[in-house]
Amino acid sequence: MSKLSHQDLYSLEEYSRIRPEFRAKVIDHKKDRRVAIGEHAALYFEDALTMQYQVQEMLRIERIFEAEGIQDELDVYNPLIPDGQNWKATFMMEYSDVEERKRALSQLIGVEKTLWVQVEGYDKVHPIANEDLERTTEDKTSSVHFVRFELTPEMAAAAKSGAAIRAGISHPAYTAETILSDSVRDSLVGDLH
């Protein structure tokens, strides 16, 4: 997938005009990019459209219209766009109750390293996590991690040929796995060369 450039973005004025339609399009697109893993974890797979939305929203909120500021936002979000041989995702541990979340995050240190995806017939792939900054302390993990799953050419080819894809977590305090629905699998396959 190509990275976003200034030419891919709407001006603040135009974005304001089209925002409701664009937002609806992105929300619909994201339905096939979310993978729940058990009750409290989810992967939100990113791509050029989800990142364009993030950039547009940041430019809108911060009222950024100068070229340098726009480039700064592109530099932050472009690394989250897959490059054709990997999947990139925002991994979230989701607890609505604040106290339950605090307890869970203190028990889930290292959870991002136990996350995995697996293309049928191949080994599990654990992610490269938090390349931008460390999100875990000795007392707790973050509820949000940014992860990258690097696939071999054979894994990518198998996925594109219809192989099932599973995702899971194998942490002592949280173990769950799921098979991706056909619509999610098809969406993710679109990220691969």
Answer with the residue of higher pLDDT: 137 or 34. 34
Mean pLDDT across the chain, nearest whole number? 94
- What pLDDT does residue 132 have? 66
Q: What percent of the chain has pLDDT over 90?
A: 91
> What are the two backbone dihedrals, phi and then psi, of residue 38, each rounded to the nearest 5 degrees?
75, -165
In 10 A of CB 182, how many CB atoms?
Answer: 11
**Does the pLDDT at position 142 exceed 80?**
yes
Answer with the residue of higher pLDDT: 134 or 41. 41
Q: Provide mean pLDDT across the span 92-119.
A: 95
Q: What span, in angstroms and rounded, lies between the C-alpha atoms of 189 and 186?
A: 5
Q: What is the DSSP letter of 144?
A: E
- What pLDDT does residue 130 have? 78
Q: Where residue 193 falls among pLDDT bands split at 50, 70, 90?
A: confident
For the record, the structure tokens of 30 come out as: 């994201």
Contacts of 74 (CB under 8 A, 6+ apart): 3, 4, 5, 6, 55
pLDDT digits (tens, 9 = 90+) for 15-51: 999 999 999 999 999 999 999 999 999 999 999 999 9
pLDDT digits (tens, 9 = 90+) for 113-127: 999 999 999 999 999
- Tell me the whole-structure pTM to 2 decimals: 0.91
